[in-house]
Amino acid sequence: MEHTIDLKNFSLRTDLITELTTEKQVGISSQCQEEEGIKITEVEVLKEGEEQIGKKQGFYTTIEFSDVTDYHLKEKVKEVFSKYLKKLLEKTGILQDASCLVIGLGNEKSSPDALGPATIENILVTNHLFQYGTPEEGFRPVAAIKSNVTGVTGIETNQFILGIVKEIKPDFLIVIDALASQSLDRLNKTIQLSNTGIHPGSGVGNKRKEISFQTIGIPVIAIGVPTVVDALTIVSDTIKYLYRHYAFHKQYDKKPSSKLTMSSQINYLKENVEILQEDKKNLLGIIGTLSEEERKQLLFEVLTPIGYNLIVTPKEFDFELEHLADILGNGINRALHKKVNHL
Amino acid sequence: MEHTIDLKNFSLRTDLITELTTEKQVGISSQCQEEEGIKITEVEVLKEGEEQIGKKQGFYTTIEFSDVTDYHLKEKVKEVFSKYLKKLLEKTGILQDASCLVIGLGNEKSSPDALGPATIENILVTNHLFQYGTPEEGFRPVAAIKSNVTGVTGIETNQFILGIVKEIKPDFLIVIDALASQSLDRLNKTIQLSNTGIHPGSGVGNKRKEISFQTIGIPVIAIGVPTVVDALTIVSDTIKYLYRHYAFHKQYDKKPSSKLTMSSQINYLKENVEILQEDKKNLLGIIGTLSEEERKQLLFEVLTPIGYNLIVTPKEFDFELEHLADILGNGINRALHKKVNHL
Amino acid sequence: MEHTIDLKNFSLRTDLITELTTEKQVGISSQCQEEEGIKITEVEVLKEGEEQIGKKQGFYTTIEFSDVTDYHLKEKVKEVFSKYLKKLLEKTGILQDASCLVIGLGNEKSSPDALGPATIENILVTNHLFQYGTPEEGFRPVAAIKSNVTGVTGIETNQFILGIVKEIKPDFLIVIDALASQSLDRLNKTIQLSNTGIHPGSGVGNKRKEISFQTIGIPVIAIGVPTVVDALTIVSDTIKYLYRHYAFHKQYDKKPSSKLTMSSQINYLKENVEILQEDKKNLLGIIGTLSEEERKQLLFEVLTPIGYNLIVTPKEFDFELEHLADILGNGINRALHKKVNHL
Amino acid sequence: MEHTIDLKNFSLRTDLITELTTEKQVGISSQCQEEEGIKITEVEVLKEGEEQIGKKQGFYTTIEFSDVTDYHLKEKVKEVFSKYLKKLLEKTGILQDASCLVIGLGNEKSSPDALGPATIENILVTNHLFQYGTPEEGFRPVAAIKSNVTGVTGIETNQFILGIVKEIKPDFLIVIDALASQSLDRLNKTIQLSNTGIHPGSGVGNKRKEISFQTIGIPVIAIGVPTVVDALTIVSDTIKYLYRHYAFHKQYDKKPSSKLTMSSQINYLKENVEILQEDKKNLLGIIGTLSEEERKQLLFEVLTPIGYNLIVTPKEFDFELEHLADILGNGINRALHKKVNHL
C-alpha cells in the first residue's frame, strides 16, 4: 500500500499574472508582442474572469527581458516600460495634468526588498514647485516618498499611505514593490504593471492590507519586479528540468545515431514539452504521480514547519538593483512628465 | 569721514536657547547643574518672557558635553539625556502609557542633515504589536518614521506629519532634527530638548511651517543637536578670540616678568573677559567699534549676496554621527519604555 | 529498460570540513564539545588523511550556533570564537607578540560576499603606533586591509596580498572570507577556523590561487562563514526531508493510534534516520535509486549548463551580516590583544 | 605703544599651485585658456623655480569650473579633464599601451575624504583580462585599488603602494586624493593634475611620506580636488571681502548720484582691486596693517592651540561627491582607453 499524501490548500507565493494565465480562460483576454528581444504581455481581466484567475478586474502588463546590466538593453527596457506605463495611465483614464504621488514600498536595508525605496531616489519631484507658482510647461505635480515595512515603523503601510493621501490629495498613486516569483528564471527579468493596486509585502510572506482604488479612493498603479523565490520553487523548477532531461535522453538513447551538439542539449531543457505520465512515475516514483500543484503543496507541507522554505535571492542581486531602480525611476519620469528629456 | 554702515535686521542662524540667554531676563528662569563633566541647563520661558528671548513659552533643557567618541562619556551622556527627557515628558504632562510617534527630520544623504533619520534606525518600535494583543508590561506603543526634506519628497514636512498623525493618532510626538549653532565650539557637543515644537530645516536656512502643539494638536517634544555653522559665525568667533589675545598680550607685555606656561596661554582665550572699547578700536578699526550684533549683521550683508556665507560642518562629523544617533535613539528608548535594559 | 545516468566527476561547492567528515577516517582525528548550545568540532587532518578528505594537513575548528540576532547568544558565540581562535594560534605556534595582518576578502557591494570587508571595519589596528614608540602593554602590532575581488581591482588576490606581506612583513596572516555551504541549515550559523590557508572566492565559484604558508611564506589563519548555497543544494536537502517525511508517515499510518503532537511532527524531519532502499525507490523512482553523491552529480549536470544552478542567499542576510562581522571582528580583537576589554 | 605681533613661520594648508603663483616668477612658465566657461591653467615649474614656489619641478594643470551638479557643465568638465589628462600623460612620456595602476587615497567613511575611493568605483578595470589573452584593441591594462588612511589600516600609505607596485609592476600610477584649499571659493570647483606625485593626507593635516617617481620608481600622475578649508581661510577670505566692501562704499558714498544695480553691488566683491593701506588701517586697525601672510600667521597662532582652526567642508558636499567621482573616474577611463565610448 502506498502512502497517500494529504493535500490541503496552500497559498503559492506568486505576484506575477503571467504565472497564472497559462491557457485561454473566460473573462480574460491577453495579447503578446515583442520589441527588440523584449516580450510584452497585456492582459485584461474582466469581472467574470476574476475568480478563475484569482486576480482583480483590470489591466496587467508584463515586460520580460534578459540582462539588465547590459547598457543598451537597459535603455531599451526603460523605453518600453515608459511607453506601456503611459498606455496604462491612459487606459485607467488618468489625465496629463493629474497630480501623482509615487510610493516606494520595502526595507532599504535588505537588498531584495529595497527596489521600491531605491526607485524613489530617481523620481523627479515637482509637487512643491506648483505651490509657489506655475513651473515650466510639460511637467505635472509629482511627489515621492518611501514607505518602510511595518516591522520597522510600527505603522501599517496602508494607514501610512492613507494618512498622506488624505492630506496631500494627489489624483493618483504609483506604488512600487519587490515581488515574489514562482520561477527563478524570471527574477529581476520581469516588470509587472497593473491598475488594480497592490498587497504590500505579499512578495515576502507578510499579508498587509490592500492598497487600491477600493481602499484609498484614487486610482493605484502598481509596478513590481520579482526579486525573491522560495526554496520549494527551486525544487519544483528542478523537477521540471529533470523530467525534460529524462524524456529527452530516453528518446535519444533509442536513436543514438543522431548527433547532438552541446547547445541542442541545453535547448531541450528550455522547451516546454509534454512528459508521459509513465515517464514521470518511472523517474520520480510517487512524487512523479502528483500534479504540479499537489507536488508544490506537499513540499510546502514538509518544508514550511521546519523553517526550511526559505526565501532566497540570487547572489548577484545587489549589482542588478541599481539598474532596475534606474529603469523604473527614470521610466516613470518620462511617462509622467512630457518635458523630460532622455537623461 | 568714516564710512557708516547701514544696519538692518537680519536673522541670526541659531536654534540654541543657551546662545540667547546670556543674562537675567524677566519671565525666564533657568538653573544649571553638572554631572560628571556634563553640563545641564534647564530654562523655563514664561508667557511674558517670550518676546524678550524670541523663544516660545515652555521648557528647554540643554545638555553640553565634550567628546562623544569616548565610550564611557558617551554612555554617561546617554544616561543623562534619557533622565532629562523623562523629566521633560513629566513636566509636559505625558502619561506613562501614552503612545508616541518618533519622527526623524532631515536628508540622510547629507551627513550634517542626517541625524534625525540616523536616530530613527535605533528606535525600538512596538506600536504594531499593540494592535495584535497586549505586549509585555513595561512597554508603551511607539512608532517611528523618517521625514525627508521637501526638496526630495515634494511634500511640506508639516503636511506629511499632519497626515500621519491624523491617521495613526499618537498621544504625542518626539521630533529629532539637526540644528544650526552660533558657535563652532558647541557643534556635536550639545543636545537641546524642548516641549515647544520645532521649525524643520531652520538649522539650514529653510523656513518651513512649525511643528508644535498649536499646528499638530498634540504635544511635540523637540530634540536637536547643532551640526552646522555658517561662515559668519566662524569669523565672529575668531574676532572674539583676537580681542582676548590682544587684551592678554597688552597686559602681559607690560609685566613680562610673570612666567606664562603654554596652557595658561591657551586658557586666556577660553575665558570670557571684558575688552576695553579702546582696545577693540585699536585692534580692529571701524570693525572694532561695532557691537557684536552690528558686526554679524555687516558680515551677513557682505557675505550673503555673493554666496559666501556658506554653511559648513567639521570634517570629522561622519565619525560622530553614529555616536550621536546611538545616544539619542537608545536614550529615547530608555525614556519611553520602562522595561528597556541598558543595551 | 531504464535510462541509466552517466556519472562523471563534478565539484561539490563546499568549504566546510564538517560536511566532509561524516565517518571515522584514517589520518583524521576529531573531537566535539558543546558550550551553552554552541557546538564546537575540532578536527586534525594528518598527512595521511589529506587525500581521503580532500583537505590539507592542519587544524580545523568548526563552531555551530543558532540565532546570531539574539544579543546574548551573539555575545556567547563571540566569546567561544575568541577562545578557540586563541587556541588555534597557540597550536600553530604563533607567539603572543607576533605581528598580524588581518585581511578581509570579498566585494563589499554584494551582501553575501561582504563578510570579509565588514569584519575589517571592526578590527582594532595598532601597527602604526608601534612605529612611533611602544604602545601600552597588552597589545601586539595589528594591521588590517580589505582585499576586493579580482573583477573589481584587476589584480589577483594572492598577488595583492603577497605584495603587501613582502613590504609590511607581518609574522602571520588572518584571512576572512565568505564560504559556500552544502546545506541551507548551516548558512550564517557556522564559523570555520583553520591554519591551512584559503582559496579566495571558492565560496562563489571562482577559483583563485591559494593563500597559505606554502604560497605566502608565513602562517595563514583562515576564518570563514558559509553565506551562500547553490540551487542543487536546496534540491538535495529537500529530497532528504521528503525521505524522512515518507518513512515517518508510512510507519505512522500503520499505527494511527499513537498521538503525535505538532512538534514531534517537526522533529522527525530534523533527525538523521536510515531510510530503506525500497522506500526511496517507491517515493522517488529512479532518482530514489541514486546515492546522494550520484544524485547531486545528476542535478549538477542538468542545472549547470542552463545557468539554473544559481548561487543564492537567504533574504534576511543583510540583517545578519553586521552581527557576524561584530562576532568576527571583536572576537579577533580579543584573541590578538590581551588588554582588550569586552566591548 | 601698540602691541607688536610676533611672526614665526607656519605652514599654509594648500595643495593648489594656482594659490601660489600670483605673479611672474623665474623658472615658472604658465599659460591660461578658457573653454566654454571652464578655465584651464597649465604651469611648468623648472628646476630653478622649485624653491621659489615650493613645488617640485614638473607640469601642473588646473581646471576651474562652477556648478558640478549641472548635467551639461559636468559633461563638458569631464571632456576637458580627459583631454588635459591625456596631454599630461604625453608630456610625461607615457606610451599608449603602458599599464596603469589607479589608486584612490582617503577614507570612504568620511565624505570630504572620500573622493579617491569614490572615483575608484568608476574605473574601468582591464588588467586581469590581459593575463588570460589579448582583449579587444583600444584598451590598455588598468588596475584600480583604494588605499585607506593609516589610522584605519595601520599601514603607511607609501608602504602599501610600494608593496603592490613591486608585485604588480605597472608602468605608471594615477593617484587621486582630496586636497585642502586656501579659498572657500575653489572648493569642489577645481581639479588639479600634476606629474610630480602627491603627499597623501596633506589636505587634512597629516603629512605622510611622498608618493612620487623618486620614492616609487615609476611616473606618478596626481589628481586632486580641494574639498576642505580651515577656519582661518574663511576668516582671511572674509577680511578680503570686507576691504572691497569698504573701498567700494567709500567711493560710492562720495558720488551717490551713480545708480548701482544689485548685481554691480555683488560684482565689486568679486573683483580683485587694490586697497589703500590707509583704508585697511581705518577699517581693521592693527589687523589692517598686517600683510596677508602676517594676518594668516596671527590667526594660525591664535586659533590652532585652542583647537579652533577646524577643518570644515560645505554642507552640500555629499551631493557633489558623486558628480566629482563621475568626472574623475570616467574622465580617466577616456584618457586611458582609446575605445571607451562616452557613457
Neighbours of chain A (3+ CB pairs under 8 A): B, C
| Higher pLDDT, residue B29 or D164 | D164
Q: Residue B129: closest CA among chain A residues belongs to which residue? A: A154
Q: Of C164-168, C213-217, D111-115, D260-264, which range is least confident?
A: D260-264
Residues D306-310: contacts with CB within 8 Å, 24+ apart? Answer: D306/B241, D306/B266, D306/B269, D306/B270, D308/B184, D308/B185, D308/B237, D308/B238, D308/B241, D308/D231, D309/D230, D309/D231, D309/D232, D310/B184, D310/B314, D310/B315, D310/D230, D310/D231
Q: Cα–Cα distance between A297 and A310 in angstroms, integer?
A: 15
Query: Hey, where are the domains in chain A?
Result: 17-224+315-342, 233-312
- Any chains having at least 3 CB pairs less than 8 A from chain B are A, D
The pLDDT assigned to C7 comes to: 31
- Using the 8-state DSSP alphabet, how is residue C151 labeled? H
The length of chain A is: 343
Say if CB A111 and CB A67 are below 8 A apart: no
Contact C317, C111 (CB under 8 A): yes
Q: How far is A219 from chain B (nearest CA, A)?
A: 19
Distance CA D302, CA B268 (A): 11
Phi, psi of C190 (to 5 degrees): -145, 135
Mean of per-residue pLDDT scores for chain C = 84
Handedness of CA B111, B117, B119, B121 (dihedral sign): negative
Q: How many CB pairs below 8 Å do chains A and B form together?
A: 84
End-to-end CA distance of chain D: 67
Q: Out of A3-12, A113-122, B127-136, which region has the weakest mean confidence (pLDDT)?
A: A3-12
Shortest distance between the Cα of C181 and any Cα of chain A, in A, equals: 14
Q: What is the pLDDT confidence band of residue A203, given thresholds at 50, 70 and 90? A: very low
Average pLDDT, chain A: 84
Task: Specify whether the CB–CB gap between A114 and A321 falls below 8 A.
Answer: yes
pLDDT level of residue A205 (50, 70, 90 thresholds): very low
Rounded distance, CA D160 to CA D163, Å?
5
Superfamily of domain D17-224+315-342: HybD-like (3.40.50.1450)
Residue in C closest to D125 by C-alpha? C154
Residue C335 scores a pLDDT above 80: yes
**CB of B162 closer than 8 Å to CB of A167:** yes
pLDDT tier, D207 (very low <50, low <70, confident <90, very high otherwise) = very low
CB contact under 8 A, A160 and B166: no
Chain A residues within 8 Å of chain B (Cβ atoms): 125-128, 131, 141-146, 148, 150-156, 159-160, 162-168
Q: Look at residue B259 in the predicted model and tell me its pLDDT.
A: 46
CA C83/CA A120 separation, integer angstroms: 46
CA distance B3 to chain A (A): 40
Q: Is the pLDDT of residue D62 over 50?
A: yes
User: What is the pLDDT, as a whole number, of residue B342?
Assistant: 54
For residue C4, pLDDT over 60 is answered with no
Residues C245-250, mean pLDDT to the nearest whole number: 82
Where is average pLDDT lowest: A327-331, C61-65, C154-158, D337-341?
A: D337-341
Q: Choose among C234, C303, C315: nearest Cβ to A110.
A: C315
CB-based burial, C298-315: b 16+ in 10 Å, e otherwise: bbbbbbeeeebbbbbbbb
Strands B190-194 and C220-230: unpaired
Of the listed ranges A190-194, A333-337, B157-161, B276-280, the least confidently predicted one is B276-280
Most confident of A194-203, C146-155, C303-312, D275-284: C146-155
- Mean pLDDT confidence for A51-61: 85
If you compute the radius of gyration of chain C from its CA atoms, what whole number of angstroms results? 22
**For C122, nearest residue in chain D (alpha carbons):** D152
Nearest to B148 by CA among A143, C319, D322: A143
- AA identity, residue D72: H
ipTM of this complex prediction, to 2 decimal places = 0.85
pLDDT in tens, B248-284: 877 766 654 444 444 455 677 777 778 888 888 988 8
Is C281 exposed, middle or buried, given 0-12, 13-18 or 19+ CB atoms closer than 10 A?
middle
Count CA atoms closer than 13 A to A87's CA, side-chain side.
14
C332 vs B10: CA distance, rounded Å:
56
* Alpha carbon separation from A337 to A97, A341, B183, C108 (Å, rounded): 9, 9, 44, 36
Quick one: average pLDDT of C240-263?
A: 68
pLDDT of A16 = 63
Instruction: Look at residue D11 in the predicted model and tell me its pLDDT.
Output: 42
Nearest to D306 among B234, B242, B269 (CB): B269
> Strand, coil or helix: what is B109?
coil
Does residue B23 register a pLDDT over 90? no
Q: At what angle do helices B231-254 and B277-289 cross, to 10 degrees?
A: 150
Residue owning grid cell 534540491: C235
Residue A181 has pLDDT above 90, yes or no: no
B165-207 tens-digit pLDDT? 999 999 999 999 998 887 777 889 999 999 999 876 444 344 4
Between residues B242 and D7, the one the model is more confident about: B242
